[in-house]
Amino acid sequence: MTTRMVEVRAKVLKQNDLLARALRERFRREGTCVVGLVSSPGSGKTAFLEKLLAGLARDARVAALVGDLATENDAERLRRATPNVRQITTGTVCHLDAQMVEKALEEWRLDRIDFLFIENVGNLVCPSSYDLGEELRFVLLSATEGEDKPLKYPTIFNSSDVAIITKMDLAEAAEFDLPAARRNIESVRPGMQVFEVSAKTGNGMQAVFDLLHAQLASARQSQVAVTR
Amino acid sequence: MHELSIAISMIDQITEESANRGGLDVEAVHLRLGVFSGVDKDALLFAWELACEGSCLEGSRLVIESIPLVIYCDACQKDRVPPSVYQLSCPDCGTPGQKIVTGREIEVASLEVVA
């Protein structure tokens, strides 16, 4: 059997990338600051997001999309802070993709939302391949998980913009080596901003609020630039 | 394990490509896969067979070319291969580097089709 080669050179996730780009443009046009959250299961994503929503809702309009394999539990927890919460149940799929995000946004008026958070499925591997159109991606690492997580999952840390070390109130009990954690983050993503927080005590949250408000201000500025 | 999703995306894409070219009898698919793409080579090879069942690609081979991680060193002003995927710095001068040149690819390079 003779064969011949047909050149294709096509990105496998091109559809996702194109859709993510369209979403990103839409978010910019509407002036919505969109932040993705990724972490392993049980790292405190939902508790952190609960605090973020409650804190930001005092003077801003907030919303969240929450990805999970099953159950609506997380969405119900977050609705205590804002009614604008939608659950994306992925079934067996271990990550969110841009199409799921687009579908979940149906009928939402983005121009009436300042901050939109997209909580990915708890997984440090698969979400790294899928752009969701977010402006910033937070990767969470809890003090109880150990400081070497960044070295084990370099791709997800590298594809994120900001690292959040959660459960800092448990750091001492867990003998968490903070300088090593920071070194490891720097090793896989040089120059990455790192925040240490405790959703339980509220320590460190203000710095994250400040970052988000600055991000919103810049989103509004580029919105002006886009609409002009 | 999102390799099955990746395999399904590949099949969709190749099916479309084949239709655009009047129907191809694909014997092998050549994929360029970056070591920093987040996709595992062995898991993808395993998923490929499963995903192809019942599709026009059933029985096709998947040939994966691993693409190394290469970063750009601002200090040396050169492309460099870092010491490992978890240490993104220049092997020569040690400067940390965040500009990724290659290593993130998930790309169908070519199809080997029956002539």
Nearest-by-CA chain B residue for A129: B38
Give the orientation angle of helix B3-20 with respect to helix B41-52, to 10 degrees: 60
**Residue A221's pLDDT is what?**
84
The closest CB to that of B98, out of A7, A151, A190, belongs to A190
Does the distance separating the beta carbons of B85 and A95 come in below 8 Å? no
Phi-psi region of A71 (alpha: psi -120 to 50; beta: other; left: phi over 0): left
For the record, the structure tokens of B16 come out as 């479309």
**Residue A173's pLDDT is what?**
96
The structure tokens 């149940």 sit at A89
pLDDT interval class at A227 (50, 70, 90) = low
The closest CB to that of A11, out of B107, B110, B111, belongs to B107
The closest CB to that of A11, out of B100, B106, B113, belongs to B106
- Could you report the per-residue pLDDT of A113-151, keeping only the tens digit for each? 999 999 999 999 989 999 999 999 999 999 999 899 999
CB of B67 within 8 Å of a chain A CB? The answer is no
**Residue A222's pLDDT is what?**
77
∠ Cα A166 B89 A159 (to 5°) = 45
User: What does A94-108 look like in DSSP terms, one character per residue?
Assistant: -S--HHHHHHHTTT-
Does the distance separating the beta carbons of A128 and B1 come in below 8 Å? no
Q: Name the nearest CA neighbour of A163 among A135, A137, A134.
A: A137
For the record, the structure tokens of A134 come out as 């977010």
- Could you report the per-residue pLDDT of A60-102, keeping only the tens digit for each? 999 999 998 877 888 888 998 899 999 998 888 889 999 999 9
Complex ipTM over 0.90: no
Does the distance separating the beta carbons of B96 and A188 come in below 8 Å? no
* H or E, element range at A178: helix A178-188
**Residue A111's pLDDT is what?**
93
Q: Which residues in chain B (8-47) have CB-CB distances under 8 A to chain A?
A: 9-10, 13-14, 17, 21, 24, 27-28, 30-31, 36-39
Does the distance separating the beta carbons of A8 and B38 come in below 8 Å? no
Q: How many Cα atoms within 13 Å fall on the side-chain side of residue A171? A: 22
Residues of A in contact with B28 (CB under 8 A): 3
Average pLDDT over residues A161-188: 97
Taking only the tens of pLDDT, chain B with its 115 residues reads 689 999 999 999 999 999 999 999 999 999 999 999 999 999 999 999 999 999 999 999 999 999 999 999 999 999 999 999 999 999 999 999 989 999 999 999 999 999 8
Percent of chain A with pLDDT over 90: 84
Q: How far apart are CA A152 and CA A206, in angstroms?
A: 29
**Residue B71's pLDDT is what?**
97
Look at the alpha carbons of A181, A153, A18, B72 in this order and tell me if their dihedral is positive or negative.
positive
Q: Which residues contact A135 (CB under 8 A, 6 or more apart)?
A: A24, A27, A28, A33, A34, A35, A215, A219
